[in-house]
Amino acid sequence: MRIRKYVVEGPVRLKGEVKISGAKNSALPILAATLLSTQPCTLYNVPKVRDVETMIRLLEVLGVRVDVDFPVLRVYPKKGRRVLAPYSIVKTMRGSFCVLGPLLARFKRAKVSLPGGCVIGVRPVDLHLKGLSELGAQIRVEKGYVYASADRLQGKKIYLGGMFGSSVLATANVMMAAVLAEGETIIENAACEPEIVDLAEFLVKMGAKIEGAGTPWIRIVGVKELAGAEHRIIPDRIEAGSFIIAAGITRGDIKLTGVEIGHLGAVVDVLKRVGLSFWSYKDGSLRVKGQKRLRPENIATLPYPGFPTDLQAQFMALMTQSDGTSVITERIYPDRFMHVPELNRMGANIKREGPYAVVQGPTELKGAEVMASDLRASAALVLAGLAAKGRTDVWRIYHLERGYENLKEKLKKLGAKIWEEKG
Ligand code: EPU
């Protein structure tokens, strides 16, 4: 089989308007949450990306009918007794692990494969399991599968923090289980990400009782049953951040439409300090303009509302063009640095030491053949390719397609020279 790659010819200055898609990381747990409903649900603004397609496949394996007409999905209530999420699917996408909470809460049992390894580092699921067992579930792990069962979950006060702070999908899993539990659950040190708020809003529309989503304390009072609901997925803040950085690295001028500026606080703040200019408009659009001279900036990735780990790689690509030294600290996934050697292949001067990367700018980037390792690292390589002189071949683009909707087409519309080839 011939492997697909993107070829990017730089340098270019991006200019024009781009529409931001719905958030992948919101769509995934919300799709899992439809398992809780006894009636059909309709979702709008769902991005057509590989991970969402994988989640749809998993729902179908579980006996759910999904009518797909992107960006609209109609999801019907689950039929049959199947509560098995197989390794073949879960291993390809960790997000699918969040069917565990809903399956357990509604069908009293679940068998979900452990997600397994991940290139961005060790990603355990201990917090998910701790939360669910505190709700009273019997949990055992055997031969790579989590077996969970409970006649009726019992609400409880649960502390859900770990070594690296809160966990987004563990919060989602426990919240989705607690909505059908008996009595009150308080999740302490809950993740505050907008995707958790979006999930909570969807659950509330289904009839759940949830307060405090978006803060570290979420209070849930269990109900007996959840009904169908209609919901529009929030805009993808990571896609938006990636285009903002694209404007910075190409010294371009881009208007982003369909964004939620309120979700981009840390990103806009950091990039203003780097030297980018922003204008926000009443219709929800955001104009961002780069400039020739970029200032270096130190960042540390943190849970929301801090600077997102999902933009660390793209920010690093940008800092190769800044006038000085930047220190980038990865506090969520200390091993998420697979893009460092690839950026260095293009001429960057980046040294990594444990969870720190020191970027010495400015360096003239030159096109090279580079290997994408994960979704966000691939985006960083494409961005670097836009700024680099000559031709950059980005291999393993299937990573990109997991989470960016029509990236190639969107960049082309902004003036990028990017196309697909088979190698
Ligand atoms: N962690 C534990 N135990 C757990 C769960 C997490 O120690 O049981 C640790 C992780 O190893 C990490 C930290 O807690 O150090 C935070 O991880 P989190 O659980 O929040 O990550 P996640 O929920 O598995 C989601 C996104 C990721 C994003 C992270 C952090 C989805 C589908 N995935 O993952 O998105 O990087 O939150 O914001 O929502 C991506 O889109 O490229 C991506 C990787």
pLDDT at position 212? 98
pTM of the model: 0.98
Q: Could you tell me the two tokens for 244?
A: 């903002």
- The secondary structure element, H or E, covering residue 266 is helix 265-274
The angle formed by the CA atoms of residues 409, 240 and 228, to the nearest 5 degrees, is 95
pLDDT of residue 1: 65
Q: For the chain, which residues score pLDDT lower than 50?
A: none
> Which homologous superfamily is 24-232 in?
Enolpyruvate transferase domain (3.65.10.10)
pLDDT value at residue 178: 98
Closest by CA position to 101, among listed 181, 198, 27: 181
pLDDT at residue number 327: 98
**Ligand 1 atom closest to the CA of 191, numbered from 1:** 20
Q: Is 118 among the catalytic positions?
A: yes
Residue 324: phi and psi, rounded to 5, are 150, -160
Q: Please give the DSSP secondary-structure letter assigned to residue 84.
A: E
Tokens at residue 411, please? 């960049």
Please give the span between the terminal C-alpha atoms of the chain, in angstroms, as a whole number: 9
**Amino acid at site 292:** K
Give pLDDT, residue 2. 75
Nearest CA to ligand 1 atom 43: 310
Residues in contact with ligand 1 (CB, 6 Å cut-off): 25, 28, 94-95, 123-128, 162-164, 167-170, 191, 309-310, 332-333, 375-376, 403
Q: Which of 121, 296, 132, 66 is nearest to 112 (CA)?
A: 132
Lookup: tokens for 214:
């978006």
Sorted by where each begins, the domain ranges of the chain are 4-21+235-422, 24-232
Residue 164 Cα to ligand 1 midpoint, Å, equals: 10
Tokens of 52: 């969402």
For 353, residues 6+ apart whose C-beta sits below 8 A from its C-beta are none
Determine if the peptide bond prior to 71 is cis (ω within 30°): yes
Which of 41, 98, 118, 192 is the catalytic position? 118
CB atoms within 10 A of CB 293: 10
Assess whether the region 4-21+235-422 and the region 24-232 belong to the same CATH fold. Answer: yes
Per-residue model confidence (pLDDT) at position 117: 65
For residue 121, the model assigns a pLDDT of 75
Could you tell me the fold of the domain covering 4-21+235-422? UDP-n-acetylglucosamine1-carboxyvinyl-transferase; Chain (3.65.10)
DSSP symbols for 287-340? EEE--SSB----EEB-STTSB-GGGHHHHHHHHTTBSSEEEEE-SS-TT--THH
- Phi-psi category of 324—alpha, beta or left, where left has phi over 0 and alpha has psi -120 to 50? left
